[in-house]
Amino acid sequence: MAEEIVVGGVEEIVKRLISLGIDEIGLLRGVEEEVEKLQTIFTDIQYVLQDAEKKQVGDERVGRWLRKLKEAAYDAEDILNEFAFDGLRRQLLAKTKTKTKTKTKTKVLNFFSCFASLPLKSTTAHSIQNITKRLKDIDEEKVSFRFIPFNTAENVVPNVVDADRETTSLVNESDVFGRETDKVKIVDMLISDLGSCSSGATTTTTLSIVTILGLGGLGKTTLAQLVFNDATVKKHFGSMMIWVCVSEDFAVTTIWFKILKEIDSSSAQSESSSKQELHKKLEKELSGKKFLVVLDDCWHKDLHKWEELILPLKVYGAAGSKVVVTTREENVASYIGSSYTHDLELLSDDQCLRLFESKAFVEGETKNSNLVKIGEEIVKKCRGVPLAVKVLGGLMRSKRTEQEWLVIRDGEIWELGGDVQKQVIEILKLSYNNLPPKVRQCFSYCSIFPKDYEIRKNEVIRLWMAQGFLQISKEGELMEDIGEEFIRILCRISFFQFADERETDEGTESFYKMHDLVHDVAQHLSRFECKDLVDSKDEKINENIRHISLISNNQTLEIPNGINKVKKLRSFYSFSSYGDSYDRLKVTTRLPKLLQLRFLRVLNLSRLSLKELPSSIGGLKLLKYLDLSWSNIERLPSTICNLYNLQTFNLSNCQKLFELPKSVVTFTRAKTFLCIPF
């Protein structure tokens, strides 16, 4: 990426440490002086962070300084949180004895109110002293950068949320501009029982493949959605309409599995279907039927893979069957054997302006003519890319003065010129920089999700809660409400895009997606903290990584061999490319190594064939989010009741669970959410 945002989110973790009961920790015997030093250093550094985060762009030394600061701040938070555990445990046990009722919604507990009588462990004191020394060195180093301090009270980021309702349609046609002709052309091609080749000649082959080709952010997926949801297309193909996200690195069996699941979720339930078995199931489901398959976001350039993937669709489909492929790679169209390639063009300035104004101005409001004029100039610089226009429009909605608009119009990013794709990335980074700091850290954390993943609203909010990102600032406020507000902010600037609304175990829920370019930005921002592993492959992991997502393309979850060396890990999240299938992933014998990581806040082991948990799970003092849903778990160890910090415990659809620990009643008093299958 052209301009390096080396590190973000420092400001918020420093604020958390300053407000994390520091005054009350200071009452502890023997640590008052050390804690006061921590408080003083963090407060002093806080005033230069805004300038430091700006200056890191173009100055690698500042970026390295911010990384050291963030590492030290994380380490301080880990030590203080761990020490807080005993106080929280005593507090909860005391509440249990007095039979005080607790609410099911999140309660912010005072971690430190009962600490005054606790003796400080020498190891904890030593750890605090080491961190204080590191921070002193970092604080002294900042002098060389000549940062400009600022008053936090005078630098409040404006609220960028309005009261617009959230749309509930898969694709809102009123939000799409300039694609009417493209849609009509592709729809006509799909409902014709004759194929078409790029030269314009017709062909009578059973399967025709239409490729939508264009830059990232140009609207390929949106166009495919418009076509997929067209009434004429639905009538023509009936129930045999299949949508599959492919993404960068895919397994042929995974895509076949997803196709079968779209046709009939009960048709692919075995735990280890081989290629031959899946091929036979495809033959059974597709033979003699006319279908439409959309393969969205295709990247892979392996000719053999594409030939293997498409073969059963060609062989078994009835005449008139169609495949629509979206890609930004010209070679994919060739490899997949495209009958017709539709080159998606840039939007005109007029189309871009209409899209921009729909995002930048509240519907029905009187538009400031000066802002409209400045907006026209901004739009011309977006070079016809809808994603860039939408993101900037959402950003400008929160800026009401001409000066604010002029700052964006005259920004340095427009001087880059050259590659359109790079400029789109810079626009996304500009929008990120204009987010409130609290929202920035939530956004970058979302790189933990795989590309094209449908993010469940309650899921992501609880993950943010577990990481301490949602801080209550006034009485009566709920973390869940803050999380929903942050989602609205991310939707406003198109960093989150509404994907679907459907029934779950918790009722009707909203699901969101991140555009792949937006996901790229999130990964870039979090690259020193988050690591995604595909099928593990036992690759070496940086020991300073804080969050790991493990994505399995087969039927085994391979926990990395050296996982126990990543001692600062806060999140471990397992994903299966098989989605919501009934299969359970086999887990390797390395789970005990994972449970040695004492700073874990998030542990997702859903959809595993795991029958029981090691008793060492009870040693995860800081664990706040534990997901065992859809697993084969049969019993829980009694030590699970030691997890007093736990906010979310998901046991939904654990059909084999027949026994709970006797002390679970005491344990559940600490829960924000407990979902059991009976």
SS (H, E, C) 266-290: HHCCCCCCCHHHHHHHHHHHHCCCC
Are 533 and 551 in contact, with CB atoms under 8 Å apart? Answer: yes
Strands 571-576 and 547-552 turn out to be parallel
Which pLDDT does position 254 carry in this prediction? 85
310: CATH: 3.40.50.300
**Looking at the structure, do residues 149 and 223 belong to the same domain, yes or no?**
no
Domain range enclosing 85: 1-156
Residue 136 in any domain: the answer is yes
Which pLDDT does position 107 carry in this prediction? 39
Which pLDDT does position 667 carry in this prediction? 58
558: CATH: 3.80.10.10
**Looking at the structure, do residues 322 and 361 belong to the same domain, yes or no?**
no
**Looking at the structure, do residues 302 and 358 belong to the same domain, yes or no?**
no
Residue 469 in any domain: the answer is no
How far, in Å, CA of 353 to CA of 378, rounded? 9
Q: What is the DSSP-derived secondary structure letter of residue 635?
A: B
Kindly report which listed range (37-46, 162-171, 287-296) carries the lowest average pLDDT score.
162-171
**Looking at the structure, do residues 206 and 244 belong to the same domain, yes or no?**
yes
**Statement: residue 677 has pLDDT above 50:** no
**Looking at the structure, do residues 337 and 354 belong to the same domain, yes or no?**
no
Domain stop point among 343, 370, 396: 343
Domain stop point among 418, 433, 448: 433
* Per-residue confidence band for 99, with pLDDT thresholds at 50, 70 and 90: low
**Statement: residue 326 has pLDDT above 60:** yes
Which pLDDT does position 199 carry in this prediction? 40
pTM, two decimals, is 0.83
Per the structure block, which two tokens stand in for 272? 């280890």
Give bridge partners of residue 368 from the DSSP assignment: none
Looking at per-residue pLDDT, the higher value among 663 and 673 belongs to: 663
**Looking at the structure, do residues 339 and 353 belong to the same domain, yes or no?**
no
**Statement: residue 198 has pLDDT above 50:** no
Residue 658 in any domain: the answer is yes
Residue 302 in any domain: the answer is yes
Domain stop point among 373, 406, 433: 433
Mean pLDDT of all residues in the chain?
82
Residue 476 in any domain: the answer is no
Residue 461 in any domain: the answer is no
**Looking at the structure, do residues 395 and 250 belong to the same domain, yes or no?**
no
**Looking at the structure, do residues 73 and 141 belong to the same domain, yes or no?**
yes
**Looking at the structure, do residues 191 and 310 belong to the same domain, yes or no?**
yes
**Statement: residue 546 has pLDDT above 70:** yes
Give bridge partners of residue 534 from the DSSP assignment: 551
pLDDT digits (tens, 9 = 90+) for 240-274: 999 998 877 778 888 898 899 888 866 544 545 78
Looking at per-residue pLDDT, the higher value among 474 and 648 belongs to: 648
**Statement: residue 569 has pLDDT above 90:** yes
**Statement: residue 28 has pLDDT above 60:** no
Residue 389 in any domain: the answer is yes
The rounded percent of the chain whose pLDDT value lies above 70 is: 79
Which pLDDT does position 160 carry in this prediction? 44
Are 150 and 51 in contact, with CB atoms under 8 Å apart? Answer: yes
CA angle 469, 94, 125 (to 5 degrees): 60
* Per-residue confidence band for 155, with pLDDT thresholds at 50, 70 and 90: very low
* Per-residue confidence band for 621, with pLDDT thresholds at 50, 70 and 90: very high
Q: What is the DSSP-derived secondary structure letter of residue 85?
A: H
**Looking at the structure, do residues 261 and 300 belong to the same domain, yes or no?**
yes
**Looking at the structure, do residues 36 and 152 belong to the same domain, yes or no?**
yes
**Looking at the structure, do residues 46 and 14 belong to the same domain, yes or no?**
yes
Residue 140 in any domain: the answer is yes
Domain count, the chain: 4
Q: How many CB atoms lie within 10 A of CB 467?
A: 20
